[in-house]
Amino acid sequence: MKGLVLVSGGIDSPVAAYMMMKQGVEVGAIHFSNEPFTDQKQELKAKEHMKKLAAMFNVNIPFFIAMHGKVQAEFARNADRRYQCVFCRRIMLRVAERIAKEKGYDFLITGENLGQVASQTLPNMAAITKAVGIGIMRPLLCNDKVETIKIAKEIGTFETSIGPGVCCNLVPQNPVTKARLHSIEINESKIDIEELIKKEISDMKEELILP
């Protein structure tokens, strides 16, 4: 089976990819770049992680780069910024779902870990997941961070993950932690979501990472 993993450049997503690849899942990877609100370092880290996994499992990994910053800015200008992180994740999943369907992936994979950041509370994750119909595998959902870091060190991705990088500059001061679907949908209705998703997909770059 094939899974499309959302990779950020952080500690968790390469570990999630590794866990699934260990189970024999064939993976592709999609990175959402928040440029110009960050720089290219996170993208390069994500690519480095996939190179490591490609070499480890001796496989090719398709690597998609979605330009996500403009979509984020459109939401921030027009809607309630407290929902920025929830919105961001919902759009990521929608874009990833379309790519997954187009390229023949059976499900999405994320490195989400319960309670770690604002978008990863149970109510927020429930609201985020409702954006798509495709299955989502979350192999690290209930991991203790220490466990995830241990695996990251074992597979050699930890040092890259903690390397220098410009963090996301779009996180609101007071993000919602118990988002209600109704409120999210009201905010999403303030922008042309479909047009933004189409643009993000049409601007997408695709590479093939070789072992």
List of residues contacting another protein (CB under 8 A): 36-39, 41, 69-70, 72-73, 76-77, 81, 164-167, 169-170
Pick 38 or 120: Cβ nearer another protein: 38
- Tokens representing 35 are 């440029």
In whole angstroms, what is the distance from residue 90 CA to residue 39 CA? 22
Q: Could you tell me how many residues make up the chain?
A: 211
Q: Rounded to the nearest whole angstrom, what is the least distance from the CB of residue 40 to another protein in the complex?
A: 9
- For another protein, which is the closer residue by CB, 81 or 94? 81
CB of 19 to another protein, least distance (A): 26
User: Which residues lie across from 92 on neighbouring strands?
Assistant: none
Neighbours of 109 (CB within 10 A): 29
Burial class (CB within 10 angstroms; exposed 0-12, middle 13-18, buried 19+) of 146: exposed
Angle between helices 193-202 and 84-103 (to 10 degrees): 50
Closer residue to another protein (CB): 2 or 70: 70
Task: Give the nearer residue to another protein in terms of CB position, either 51 or 70.
Answer: 70
Contact 31, 54 (CB under 8 A): no
- In the complex, the smallest distance separating the C-beta of residue 125 from another protein, rounded to whole angstroms, is 24
Q: Residue 68 Cβ, how far from another protein at the closest point, in Å?
A: 12
Which residue is it, tokens 């932690």?
177
State the CB neighbour count (10 A cutoff) for residue 104.
Answer: 10
Q: Determine contact, residues 61/184, Cβ cutoff 8 Å.
A: no
Q: How far is the CB of 163 from another protein (least distance, A)?
A: 8
Max Cα distance, the chain (Å): 46
Say if residues 21 and 109 touch (Cβ distance below 8 Å). Answer: no
Judged by beta carbon, residue 73 or residue 181, the one nearer another protein is: 73
Closest CB 34 distance from another protein, rounded Å: 10
Closest to another protein by CB, 169 or 189: 169
